[in-house]
Structure 1
Amino acid sequence: MCAYVLLAEDDPKQAELVRRYLSHEQHTVRVVADGRSAIDEVRRQRPDLLVLDVMMPGVDGLDVCRVLRREYDLPVLMVTARASADDKLLGFDLGADDYLTKPYDPRELMARIRSLLRRSQPASGPAAPPLRTGDLTVDVLRHEVWVGDKPVACTPAEFRILSTLVGSPGQVFSRAQLLEHAYGLDGFITERTIDVHVRNLRKKIEADPASPELLQTVYGIGYKVADGRRRAG
């Protein structure tokens, strides 16, 4: 699978190493060395994947992710020397789809890139009608989410979690099940990440995120979407 990958990395040696690995796998690569350039380049030509270093001069990677997530749902893989669980969860909270700590094996980076690119491909097969429950609509084919007549911007991982839940309203999914749906068996993400995505989704689809009516917690098990009409054409 060949893709256009934007690499935002201010270390020239690291950037060149990653560029060579990406080029070897037949990807088109564009390298930028600061956060401002990363934002400008995405707006100029949206990539299939953004590999984003957190610690960059000027606008850092966290702010880049925060800005771009308001405009795009492209896959984002963050790389950083910050290895604590809180740092990783902050990255996911801002919309990252994966998080890799330095130093890392470039082969692992390539494996994660392949995984992200596979998951970001639209589903094949016969067109399915939008999934609906209450005022919430998830159009899997168009990768769109609506609450009433208001469009909702979701990250790729958020969209996969929400489409899984809305596809079976009333059914309880464990964090492990949602993790598999969102990241696949080859994912590198912990179950705590699901809680971050659910919290972000509630901010987007609930009238009162503190008292969710649509995306409900089933304590000790996981999450479900409130039962409603399953499908509509």
Structure 2
Amino acid sequence: MSRVLIVDDEAAIRRLLEAILSRAGHDFIAAPNAAGALAALDRGNVDVILLDLGLPDRDGLEVIAAVRQRCAIPIIVLTARHETAEKISALDLGADDYVTKPFDSDELLARLRSALRRSGTAMTGDDACLEFGPVSMDLARHEVRCNDAPVALTPREYAVLKALLQASGRILTHAAILEQVWGKAHIESVDYLRVVIRALRLKLEADPSDPRLIRNEPGIGYRLVG
């Protein structure tokens, strides 16, 4: 059974989340502020965090940074802040996902399951094979397959796909991909990335005009969807 740390200053939201998690078979603990959240995390036995950004004692973005200094536990931001800049900041600081209020409970649980799966399947080593949905990448052989058929990629296409596979369903911001593939000098060159994503969709998607695998998060970045 997974244990979820709920961090929200609104008692009604905490009760709602506790009911949703309980029905889905999750254990949970709750904190109304940043201090309580970090104290609970330091005590251990937490598998994933649901984090509101509007906390009374410390901004949630600062909490993300503080958590990332401690561990790599998945963080799902659950907030009323809808601004794209806030989403990008949270994701760049290390959040794994971003859900805005009001939220759909089934979607939240699906994102929670996805985050928990990713946290248990980190891959290391030069001989690793990255897989997501129909796509697999053999890092040792530098080979890519989709639906078990070989796919020829350019070096840029390979590098972008590798970044997305390593994220394993987590949103990667434009800047994060651009820095990883092109370098810091090109973190604003979003057109470079769009060209490569378009090429990847032509090679990997059943219908490139209606992409189901490489999903765009408007104004933020991209993620793989299985």
Question: How does the TM-score come out when normalised to structure 2?
Answer: 0.64
Q: Distance in 1 between matches of 2:81 and 2:139?
A: 35
Indicate the RMSD between aligned Cα atoms, in angstroms.
3.7
Percent pairwise identity = 29
Contact 2:174 2:193 (C-alpha < 8 Å) held by counterparts? no
Query: Residues of 2 paired with 1:165 and 1:93: CA distance?
Result: 27
Mapping 1:142-161, distance limit 5 Å: none
Q: Which amino acid aligns with 1:221?
A: V
Displacement of 1:122 in angstroms is 2.5
Report the residue type matching 1:110 in the other structure: L
Paired with 2:89 and 2:63, the residues of 1 have a C-alpha distance of 13
Alignment-derived partner of residue 60 in structure 1: 59
CA distance in 2, matches of 1:39, 1:131: 34
Unaligned runs of 5+ in 2: 130-136, 144-154, 198-226
Give 1:161's aligned residue: none
Specify which of 166, 172, 175 is matched with residue 157 of structure 2. Answer: 172
Assess if the C-alpha contact under 8 Å between 2:7 and 2:51 holds in 1: yes
Cα distance in 2 between the residues matched to 1:61 and 1:27: 23
Q: Which of 182, 185, 188 is the aligned partner of 2:167?
A: 182
**Residue 42 (structure 1) shift:** 0.7
Task: Name the structure with the higher helix share.
Answer: 2
- Alignment partners' CA distance in 1, 2:93 and 2:39: 19
Please name the residue that 2:132 is paired with: none
* Residue matched to 1:197: 176
- TM-score, normalised by the number of residues in structure 1: 0.63
Q: Tell me the secondary structure at the aligned position of residue 114 of structure 2.
A: helix
Among 125, 133, 146, which residue is 1:130 paired with? 125
Following superposition, the deviation at residue 20 of structure 1 comes to 1.0
Q: Quote the Cα distance in structure 1 between the aligned partners of 2:112 and 2:66.
A: 22
Does the CA contact (< 8 Å) of 1:92 and 1:196 recur in 2?
Answer: no
Q: Hey, what does 1:43 align to over in structure 2?
A: 42
Distance 1:96 1:129 in 2: 21
Q: Which structure 1 segments of 5+ residues have no match?
A: 133-138, 141-163, 203-207, 223-233
Q: Secondary structure at the match of 2:46?
A: coil
Contact 2:47 2:73 in 1 (8 A): yes
1:157 maps to none
